[in-house]
Amino acid sequence: MSEEQKMVKAFIMGEAYDVPEGSTIIMAMEYAGFQMKRGVGCREGFCGACATVYREKGDYKLKGGLACQTVVTDGMTLAQIPFVPAEKPIYDIKELTPDIDTIKTLFPTIFRCVACNTCTKACPQEIKVMDYVQALKRGDIGRAADLSFDCIRCGLCALRCPSEIVQYNAATLAQRLYGRYLNKKSPELEERIVEVENGKYEKELDELVEMPREEQSKRYYAREIKLK
């Protein structure tokens, strides 16, 4: 940041700090002197470690966001959420069926949803959280898996839910059920595995392993490039 950097005031857990304009919440906290351990992971919006709640100057709304993706505005008051207590049922994916009975047994709280849409409004990934919860209620695993796909498990939806639902854990189950049971199987994959297991490529690979570099290089540059 350059010398004539413009500064804004951020209230980190209520205390005022001057931080460079344009900083994300994580950058601002580090600038203020916090050595982060909780509340930070990937720093790029993929891990969900950095859920933060904040209010902006002149706005009564309590907002949620990712600290690595949200830019501090002048007068913002904020607090990070170090951890979200949530129940996670234990299951063996191999023994489940991809249907509503599984949802009923493992996530009975889902059926308490009152369709208030608070979760959807809270989601920093702009996921239609309520819609995937509703899909689960109907046993529509495919739709739930699809709608919830971009969930990074930041926990903000669960924190705001008046019905105490842990949406994202149910989403993970839906995704796994879909991946294992409902996604159509790939015939080529199965065939290739049989070939590999029968040792079809062993000999040729072993030859390559032993082949001098120049010869390998020749084969490499001569190989045909055929892209789909």
Partner 1 sequence: MYPDYMMKSIQMVEKTRPKRLELAKKQGKQVFPAMSESERQAVLDNFHPDFKKDARREVRVGVNKGESLTTEVADLLESYSRVDPVIFDLNNPDHETDVLVIGAGSAGMAAAITAGINGSNVLLATKLRLGDSNSMMAQGGIQAADQKDDSPVLHYLDVMGGGHFENKPDLVKALVNDGPIAIKWLEELGVMFDKNEDGSMMVKPGGGTCRSRMHSTRDYTGAGICRVLRDEVYNMPDKIKYLEFTSIIELILDEKGQAVGAIGYHLETKQYMVIKASSIIIATGGFGRLHVRGFETTNHYGATADGLVIAYRAGANLMFMDSVQYHPTGAVFPEQILGFLCTEKIRSMGAQPVNHDGDLFVYPLEPRDIEAAAFIRECAERGKGVKTPTGKVGIWLDSPLIDLINGEGATQKYLPAMLRQYKRFDIDVIKYPMLVYPTLHYQNGGVEVDDKGETKIPGLYVAGEAVGGIHGRNRLMGNSQLDLIVFGRRSGYWASERAKKGVQFGKLTMQHVYDYEKKVAKLKIPRKKIAPIILPDYIPDHVKIKQKTTEYFGTLF
Binding site for ligand SF4 (CB under 6 A): 113-119, 122-123, 125, 127, 129-130, 133, 151-157, 161-163, 165, 167-168
Q: Is 176 in the site for ligand FES (CB under 6 A)?
A: no
142 φ/ψ angles, rounded to the nearest 5 degrees: -60, -45
Supply the minimum distance, in Å, between the C-beta of residue 163 and partner 1: 23
Q: Is 198 in the site for partner 1 (CB under 8 A)?
A: no
* Interface size with partner 1, residues (CB under 8 A): 78
Helix (H, G, I), strand (E, B) or coil at 190: helix
Stretch that binds ligand FES, among 42-50, 57-65, 82-90, 181-189 (CB under 6 A): 42-50
For residue 66, give every residue at least 6 positions away whose Cβ sits within 8 Å of its Cβ, in sequence order, or none: 45, 48, 50, 51, 52, 124, 154
The region that residue 194 occupies, defined by phi over 0 for left and psi between -120 and 50 for alpha, beta otherwise, is alpha
The single residue among 44, 58, 60, 85 that binds partner 1, judged by CB under 8 A, is: 44
Helix (H, G, I), strand (E, B) or coil at 177: helix
Q: Is 227 in the site for partner 1 (CB under 8 A)?
A: yes
Q: Is 121 in the site for partner 1 (CB under 8 A)?
A: no
The region that residue 207 occupies, defined by phi over 0 for left and psi between -120 and 50 for alpha, beta otherwise, is alpha
Q: Are 50 and 84 in contact (CB under 8 A)?
A: no
The single residue among 8, 10, 38, 164 that binds partner 1, judged by CB under 8 A, is: 38
Q: Is 133 in the site for ligand FES (CB under 6 A)?
A: no
* Residues in contact with ligand FES by the rule CB under 6 A: 40-43, 45-50, 66-68, 152
